[in-house]
Amino acid sequence: MTNDKRARIGIFTRPIDKGTSGSGHHLHEMVRTILRTNREQNKFEFFLIHYVNTDRDVYRQAEEIIIPRNPLAAALVLRKYNFDLLHHSPLTIFSPLAGLTVKRVATIHSAEPNIIPQYYNLAERAHARYIKPVYARKMDHIFTVSETSKRYFTEQWGVDPQKVSVCYNAVSPLYRKLDNPVTAPLKYGITGRYIFHISKYSQRKNPWGLLRGFSSLVSRTGFDDLSLIIAGSGWENPEIVTYLEQEGLAGKVVFTGFTPDEQVVELYNGACCFVFPSRAEGFGMPNVEAMACGCPVITTNSFAIPEIVADAAIVLPDPDDYSALADSMEMLLTDDSLKTRLITRGFKRAAEFSWEKSARTVLDVYEKLTSVTGE
């Protein structure tokens, strides 16, 4: 690579197109920040590779390449671009595209199918156990979102520690403490106090621990003015609706479905606390978003969560101990000094994560692998 030639970097961006998943959000913010940072130094020429056209803003900031889903046909398309490096996100069975001899890096967030296999199907477990580790070891570099995930990949998958870099998630400026009173809860008929949770319905997120903890809290305290607001898709299924009716909670648990970010920010701001009893997270973005909005957090010690929240949250040792969850919610509803302490620590912790810092880590690896010194 000569000094007067920019390295050609191709980034696979399919997770961006799939919506607001954790990996999609990470990649969208990371790519935006990488492109913005690169405009200052102009060391790289970027290409964003995916399967279908979308209206996401990031595709207006670099050249877009639409490839066929067949990996052999995709390789024929990509070979024309003479890439110096390809960045796979995520790392899949199709990542080693035939005939492309370039430097390869990949982003891998975590290994949930290995950690809690009972919540994944056979194909997902097989991919995580037998395919992903092999391909990870073949990559020239791996990016991940926590030191916990890095340690897992090096100790369990045999990836060289020198080839793994941690690029933490960060919080969008949208997630902040609001000056004006929130109105979003009123849209859902909530006028009193409420506890907040957000996730797409999944057993990995421990929905029954959340609901049973809230049921235990209400039955023991008699807090008639207290509600639980749950944002995210998939929650209004017959099993949950029946459970809430049996527990007398049908009017106290409100499902908002998919909720725009602006309303989510308001719901964080107005909540007594945010509860996130997940069974495994490579990062756990909602915990940090809640902190940035001044909402105290109750979560679990599952995988990378303790690393991310540090001392700025109540961390439960057992995701299945819904009685302990109820105890923690009651403490935050009755102990103002504890609540204030967690809010203060949460603001500080959320501010420690930076997309700019993570983007610089990625660009430094690109530079090392392509031997670029700029124009």
pLDDT digits (tens, 9 = 90+) for 309-347: 999 999 999 999 999 999 999 999 999 999 999 999 999
Mean pLDDT value across residues 58-68: 93
Task: Give burial (CB, 10 Å; 0-12/13-18/19+) of 334.
Answer: exposed
pLDDT at 41 over 90: no
Q: Where are the domains of the chain?
A: 7-170+354-370, 184-351
The pLDDT score that the predictor gives to residue 144 is: 96
CATH of domain 184-351: 3.40.50.2000
- The percent of residues above 70 in pLDDT, for the chain, comes to 95
CATH of domain 7-170+354-370: 3.40.50.2000
Beta carbons of 170 and 354 less than 8 angstroms apart? yes
Lowest pLDDT segment from 20-24, 154-158, 221-225: 20-24
The pLDDT score that the predictor gives to residue 373 is: 52
Residue type, 67: I
Q: How far apart are CA 32 and CA 14, in angstroms?
A: 15
Q: How far apart are CA 268 and CA 118, in angstroms?
A: 31
Hunting for tokens 């990062």 — which residue is that?
A: 283
pLDDT at 28 over 80: yes
Hunting for tokens 């010194």 — which residue is that?
A: 373
pLDDT at 1 over 50: no
Beta carbons of 321 and 311 less than 8 angstroms apart? no
Its pTM surpasses 0.75: yes
Assign 2 a pLDDT band (cuts: 50, 70, 90). very low
The pLDDT score that the predictor gives to residue 24 is: 83
pLDDT at 4 over 60: no
Express each pLDDT in 68-106 by its tens digit: 988 888 888 999 999 999 999 877 655 555 557 889 999
Express each pLDDT in 253-276 by its tens digit: 999 999 999 999 999 999 999 999
Domains 7-170+354-370 and 184-351 in one fold: yes
Map residue 107 onto helix, strand or coil: strand
